[in-house]
Amino acid sequence: MAQATAERKTSFKKSVSKSAVKYEKLGEMLRKEGQITKDQLNEAIAARKKIDAKMGNVLIQLGYIDEDTLLSFLSRQLNYPIVNISELMINPATMKILTYEQAKQYLVFPIRVANDVLTLAMADPTDNEAIEETQLLTKLSIKAVVSKEKDIINAYKKYYKISEEEYKSFFKDISKDGGEPAIEIKEVDDIGSLVSEAADEVTVEEEEEIKDELTAEAAPIIKLVNGILTKAVRLGASDIHIEPYEKTFRVRYRQDGALYVSLNLPIQIKNALVSRFKILSNLNIAERRVPQDGRIKMRLGKSKSVDFRVSVLPTLFGESIVLRILDKGNLNVDLTKLGFTVEGFANFEKAIKQPFGLVLVTGPTGSGKTTTLYSAINSLNSVDTKILTAEDPVEFNFPGINQVLVRNEVGMTFAAALKSFLRQDPEIILVGEIRDAETAEIAIKAAMTGHLVFSTLHTNDCPSTVGRIIDIGIPGYMVSSALTMVVAQRLMRRICVDCKEEDPNVKKDKQFLIGIGFDEKEIDDIKIMRGKGCPKCNGKGYKGRVAVYEIMTVTEEVKKAITAQVPEDQLRKTAIKEGMITLRMEAIQKVKEGTTTVDEVLKNTVLVKEALPGYLLNPDELIFENDDLIINEGNTDTNFYQLMQGRLEILKDGVKISEISQPGEYFGEMSALLGTARNATIISKGKSIVKVFPGDKIRETLDNYPDISFKIISSLLSRLNDATKKLAVLGEEHIL
C-alpha cells in the first residue's frame, strides 16, 4: 500500500496537465469570478456534506447557477474543451479502461486513448484527486475535458449498461436528504371537522368589520382556509371557487376542467373566511365594493411551494373568491411529455429551433396554450440566449428569462412591451396574446427581422388563426413571410387507468362513428374504451388530461395559399395535403389508443368537413330493382356512379363479363374520361342503391379531391385487372 502511494505521487507530478493543478476548487473559483456569492458557496458546502454529490451539481440543484453557465465558465475561463459524449462513438476497448465503479467514483467517463493519453470526460475537471486517481489506475496521462453531468450519466447507461435503478440513483434531490426545513402544512383528512370548528368560532354577527378581522385570525378559520387550499393541491384541482349565495356558501373545485361542489359551508363564517383569504393575499379587507387581485404563496411539505392567483369579486351576496392554482410541479415544462405525437413533436421542435419566425399557439381558454409556450421557452432557455416575455398575468417565474407584466392601466400594453423589447436585443420574444393590429404588426415585423416570436390567439384551429390575423389588418404576404408554424390545441380528459374497460355500447352505432370521422374499415378492429368509475377517480372514470395538437407547418404550398389569402377551407385543404392532421383526427387517434373517450372527442373538437361541392356532397341516390338497366352499351351519356348497396353485373354483348359488388366502388367513369360511348351494359342483380355523379365534373373531381380521385382510380384499375384475367382465360380457351 505504501509503495502504491509513493508511485501515485511521482506519476501524478509527471503527467497531470498544468492547468488542472494550479486551480482551486470549483466552488471557490466560481465565487471569485462573481458567479456565486460567498453565502451561496457556504450553503453549497454545507449541503454537499449531507449528500455525496459534486459541487457543481449541488450549486445547480440549489439554483445558484445553471448547467450551461457552469459549462461555459469551465471552458471559457479555464480552457477545458466541452465535449458532448452523446454525439461521439465510443470505442468499446476505451470504455474498458475503467470499470463502471471506478468511473462512477469520480463521475468521469473515458472517451479516447491515443499516444498514452486518455481523454477523460469530467463533470468537474478541476477535481485534481479524480485526475490523480484515474491516472494511477490506468497508467495513462489524462487530458481532462468537461461534459454535462447528465451526459456522463447517460453514457454510463449506454455503455456500461447500468440498471434503471442505478441510473436513477444519480438524481438525488437535495431537499429530500437535507436542506432547509420548511413550514409544512399538514394534509387534511377531516375537513368537515374543520368546518364545524370554524363555525363555532364565529357565533353572533356584530360590528362586522372589526370582528371579521379578529375571527379571520382565529385558529379554526386559519385551519379551514389551509385545509381548503391543501385539499385543492392534493386533488390536483386547477381552481378553487368560493361563492356566497343568499342562503348558502359553497366551495367548488375545478378538476380536469370540470367544476364540482366540494364543501357546503355555514353561511355565518362567510366574512371571516373571505377576510382570511384577503389577509393571505395582501388585499384590503375593509374594501368590499370593488374587485381585487392578489397572490398567495403556500409551502407544502419540504420542497414544494404552490402559488395561488387570487381574484375577489363583489357579488350580490358578498365577495366571491376564485383562486387559480399555479403549481409549478404540475406545470409540465418537459416538451416531450405534453402529448405530442412523435411526428408532431419533431415538427414543433424544428419550428422552435429556427432562429427567427413567428410561432402561434391557439385554442380557447384552458386549452393548455400557456403550458406549451412555457415548455417551448424553457427548452430554449440558455445563457447565450436572451428571452423576453410580456405576459398577463405572469404565471410562473423562470430563472434566466426576463418576464414583463402587462398592465394596460399604466400604458404597459402588449404592443408597448413589444416595442421596447426590440431595443433590448433579444433572440426570443414571447407575447402573451395578440389581440390587436398594433401588436400583430410589431410581432410580425420582429419575426421578419431575425427574432423568434411566440404568441397566442383565441381561435379554434390553425387555418382560422391565419384568417384572424389577416382580418385584424395584416396583409397575407406579411403573414406568410413571418409565420413558421401554427399549433392549435385542446385538453381532453384522460380515461382513468384503474377502471378502464372496453365500452360495450359505442361500437353498436357504426354509422355514428363514421359520421364523426372514424374510418369505416378500422372500426371492427379497434377497441373503444371508457372509465367505469372507481375510488381512484372519484367515480368519474377520468383522471388527468391529455393534449391534442393540430400542427400547421408553413411549407412553400401553405405559404403560397396564405399570401393569396385563400378562403379558410381552402387553406385547410392545402395544409392537410401538406401533412396537417386536424384536431378531430388527432382526438380520434387518442380514442383508438385507448386514452380518451368518444364523448371527450365530441366535446372538444369539431369535424371539419372537407369543403366538397354540392354534386359530390349530396349526389342523387337511385334505387334499382332486379335486372334494371343502369348503363346501356353504346349509349353516349357520361354520368358516373358509386355502388352503395347491392350487386351489379357488367355485360358485354349480353354476356356477363364481370360484376360490381364492393360498396363504395365507382363505375361508369370511362365514358366521361374518354368521351366515348358506353362499352358495356350494367344491370342491377336484385335490389341495389347507387349514387349518381355528373360526368362533366369528373375532371374537376379528379383534380381537386384526392380521396375521391384515389377511389375512382382504384375501382377502375381493379376492373381492368379483372378484365385482363378474363382475357387470359379467353385466350387459353381459344388455343384449346
Residues in touch with Zn ion (CB under 5 A):
496, 498-499, 534, 536-537
User: At its nearest, how many Å lie between Zn ion and the CB of residue 493?
Assistant: 12
**Which one-letter amino acid corresponds to residue 204?**
V
Would you say 55 or 496 has its CB closer to Zn ion?
Answer: 496
Give one word for 92, left, alpha or beta, with left for phi > 0 and alpha for psi -120 to 50.
alpha
Grid cell in block for residue 635: 349509349
User: At its nearest, how many Å lie between Zn ion and the CB of residue 495?
Assistant: 8
Would you say 361 or 499 has its CB closer to Zn ion?
Answer: 499
- Residue 393, preceding bond cis, omega within 30 degrees? yes
Would you say 578 or 599 has its CB closer to Zn ion?
Answer: 599
User: At its nearest, how many Å lie between Zn ion and the CB of residue 367?
Assistant: 24
User: At its nearest, how many Å lie between Zn ion and the CB of residue 497?
Assistant: 8
Would you say 506 or 622 has its CB closer to Zn ion?
Answer: 506
In Å, what is the CA distance from 137 to each residue of 128, 146, 197, 552?
14, 20, 68, 56
Would you say 466 or 529 has its CB closer to Zn ion?
Answer: 529
CA-to-CA distance for 141 and 139, rounded, in angstroms? 7
Helix axes 568-577, 462-471, angle to 10 degrees: 140
User: At its nearest, how many Å lie between Zn ion and the CB of residue 545?
Assistant: 14
DSSP 470-486: HHTT--HHHHHHHEEEE
On whether the CB atoms of residues 297 and 305 are closer than 8 A, the answer is yes
On whether the CB atoms of residues 55 and 76 are closer than 8 A, the answer is no
On whether the CB atoms of residues 355 and 452 are closer than 8 A, the answer is yes
Would you say 532 or 647 has its CB closer to Zn ion?
Answer: 532
User: At its nearest, how many Å lie between Zn ion and the CB of residue 534?
Assistant: 3
Would you say 468 or 500 has its CB closer to Zn ion?
Answer: 500
User: At its nearest, how many Å lie between Zn ion and the CB of residue 603?
Assistant: 19
Would you say 499 or 643 has its CB closer to Zn ion?
Answer: 499
Would you say 541 or 646 has its CB closer to Zn ion?
Answer: 541
On whether the CB atoms of residues 102 and 137 are closer than 8 A, the answer is yes
Would you say 537 or 585 has its CB closer to Zn ion?
Answer: 537
Q: Report the SS3 class of residue 583.
A: helix
Nearest to 161 by CA among 250, 62, 95, 63: 95
What is the Cβ-side half-sphere exposure of residue 157, based on CA atoms within 13 angstroms? Answer: 15
Would you say 283 or 495 has its CB closer to Zn ion?
Answer: 495
User: At its nearest, how many Å lie between Zn ion and the CB of residue 501?
Assistant: 10
On whether the CB atoms of residues 218 and 272 are closer than 8 A, the answer is yes
Beta strand spans in 201-303 (E): 239-244, 249-255, 258-265, 292-300
Q: Is residue 412 packed enough to be buried (19+ CB in 10 Å), middle (13-18) or exposed (0-12)?
A: middle
First to last CA, the chain: 99
On whether the CB atoms of residues 360 and 439 are closer than 8 A, the answer is no
User: At its nearest, how many Å lie between Zn ion and the CB of residue 590?
Assistant: 18
Grid cell in block for residue 417: 412591451
Q: Report the SS3 class of residue 533.
A: coil
User: At its nearest, how many Å lie between Zn ion and the CB of residue 494?
Assistant: 11
User: At its nearest, how many Å lie between Zn ion and the CB of residue 192?
Assistant: 24
Q: What is the DSSP letter of 507?
A: G
